[in-house]
Amino acid sequence: MAENLIEVKELVTSYGEKLIHRGISFDIKRGEIFAIIGGSGAGKSTLLRVLLLLKEPLKGQVLFDGRDVFSLNEEEKQALRNRMGVLFQSDALFSSVTVGENIIYSIVKRKRVPKGIACEMAMVKIQMANLPPEVFFMYPSQLSGGMKKKAALARALALDPEILFLDEPTSGLDPISADEFDKLIKEIAGTTGTTVVMITHDLPSLLICDRVAVLSQGKLVYCGEPMGLVNVDDPWLKRMVHGERGRRFLVGA
């Protein structure tokens, strides 16, 4: 099996006239935890939409397992999406049904399994996300912010994805809950071998990552080990690294 699960080559994307990515290239290796960081509006979520095959680039290629994803037909694209799990920036759990039903819906929408089996699968994912079993019967409005994130993670894990995409999973959490969530991601990646792509603003979260890519002004200004960030000459990054959260990242705790 090739080492690279995803290869992005010279990607250019835009919304109308506005260019978001001006030719970016990087690889995501099988089994790694890969972070994408950058200032607000840098194009992180847009990049995620491209990797999820929800937005077509203007130019360039995205290869998944060596295949150009935008040359696939709709059925093949859907089959590929079924191998991906995603936690969007806004958790987007359906508020009118319980957490269990949220996860079951996500399973039966994409896989023909009897409801009883989907129900058991959902319960396993709730446990994997480190939530107590009663959360299965609770509504999103009855959960704390940290529990909602974990419930959304349980849903993203519903079909044992080969690759898990997380868009700002710890935003809005207090530092202790954020650390706990990071630890959980690391554990899940370690036990399942799932490749993880995590968008984050939070430098301490990079401590669980193998590599990080930095988006700035439409370009990748860095892609490599997290500790290498300290040597990158980028104004936004310098402000981040030398801020309070950055200092914690620098001491590695």
Question: Residues interacting with Mg ion, by CB under 5 A?
Answer: 45
Based on CB atoms, which residue is closest to ligand ATP, 98 or 216?
Answer: 216
Asked whether position 71 contacts ligand ATP by CB under 6 A, the answer is no
Please report, as residue ranges, which positions from 12 to 51 form the binding site for ligand ATP (by CB under 6 A): 15, 20, 38, 40-46
Please report, as residue ranges, which positions from 86 to 125 form the binding site for ligand ATP (by CB under 6 A): 89
Residue 42 carries which DSSP code?
S
Based on CB atoms, which residue is closest to ligand ATP, 104 or 152?
Answer: 152
| Least Å from the CB of residue 201 to ligand ATP | 6
Q: What is the DSSP string of 194-229?
A: -EEEEE-S-GGGGGG-SEEEEEETTEEEEEE-GGGG
Residue 140's binding partner out of Mg ion, ligand ATP, none, with CB under 5 to 8 Å set by partner kind:
none
Q: What angle do CA 240, 242, 244 make, to 5 degrees?
A: 85
| Least Å from the CB of residue 44 to Mg ion | 5
Residue 37's binding partner out of ligand ATP, Mg ion, none, with CB under 5 to 8 Å set by partner kind:
none
Residue 116's binding partner out of ligand ATP, Mg ion, none, with CB under 5 to 8 Å set by partner kind:
none
Residue 46's binding partner out of ligand ATP, Mg ion, none, with CB under 5 to 8 Å set by partner kind:
ligand ATP
| Least Å from the CB of residue 115 to ligand ATP | 35
Q: Which residue has the tokens 């295949």?
A: 67
CA distance 160 to 173: 25
Neighbour tally for 142: CB within 10 Å: 12
| Least Å from the CB of residue 71 to ligand ATP | 24
Assigned token pair, 71? 């040359």
Count Cα neighbours of 191 within 13 Å in the Cβ-side half-sphere: 9
Based on CB atoms, which residue is closest to Mg ion, 45 or 177?
Answer: 45
Nearest residue to 28 (alpha-carbon basis) of 55, 66, 78? 66
CA distance 154 to 161: 11
Chain residues in the site for ligand ATP (CB under 6 A): 15, 20, 38, 40-46, 89
